[in-house]
Amino acid sequence: GAVVSQHPSRVICKSGTSVKIECRSLDFQATTMFWYRQFPKKSLMLMATSNEGSKATYEQGVEKDKFLINHASLTLSTLTVTSAHPEDSSFYICSAKRQGVGGYTFGSGTRLTVV
């Protein structure tokens, strides 16, 4: 149980276009989901906390208009990278919080390449 599905696993897009990444909790409801960015051989950097039915909470330095987050249901959060540029190329990971301490399940990540 407690599976989080993240799609796509890899995406290549052209500069200036937008790309949407989906994060779904398959067998539990997640009122809170988190979006991370990970650079090569680096740690996970929290970008934002996604709350179902309300606006996301962004970490300092993360552009809200660049990284749009929508959490419209208890099982789905999406991250849209708008007007993507090569510097947005990275590995993006979502996680969903289950009930109880330590109840975090991670998606398998999305490798975004902007060309």
Partner 1 sequence: AQTVTQSQPEMSVQEAETVTLSCTYDTSENNYYLFWYKQPPSRQMILVIRQEAYKQQNATENRFSVNFQKAAKSFSLKISDSQLGDTAMYFCAFMTGTASKLTFGTGTRLQVTL
Number of C-alpha atoms within 13 angstroms, CB side, residue 53? Answer: 3
Nearer to partner 1, 101 or 115 (CB): 101
Q: Does 53 bind partner 1 (CB under 8 A)?
A: no
The site that binds partner 1 (CB under 8 A) totals a number of residues, namely: 19
Q: Please identify, using beta-carbon distances, which residue of 32 and 89 lies nearer to partner 1.
A: 32
CB 112 within 8 A of CB 19: yes
Shortest Cβ distance from residue 12 to partner 1 (Å)? 17
Q: CA-based angle 71:12:110, to the nearest 5? A: 45
Q: How far apart (Å, rounded) are the C-alpha atoms in residues 87 and 67?
A: 13
Q: How far is the CB of 83 from partner 1 (least distance, A)?
A: 26
| Tally of CB atoms within 10 A around 93 | 22
Among 14, 41, 54, 115, binds partner 1 (CB under 8 A): 41
Give the pair of three-digit tokens for residue 107.
Answer: 């998606």
**Contact present, 37 and 61 (Cβ < 8 Å):** no
Exactly one of 5, 66, 70, 91 binds partner 1 (CB under 8 A); which one?
91
Q: Is 42 in the site for partner 1 (CB under 8 A)?
A: yes
Contacts to partner 1 by CB under 8 A: 32, 34, 38, 41-44, 46, 49, 91, 93, 95, 97, 101-102, 104, 106, 108-109
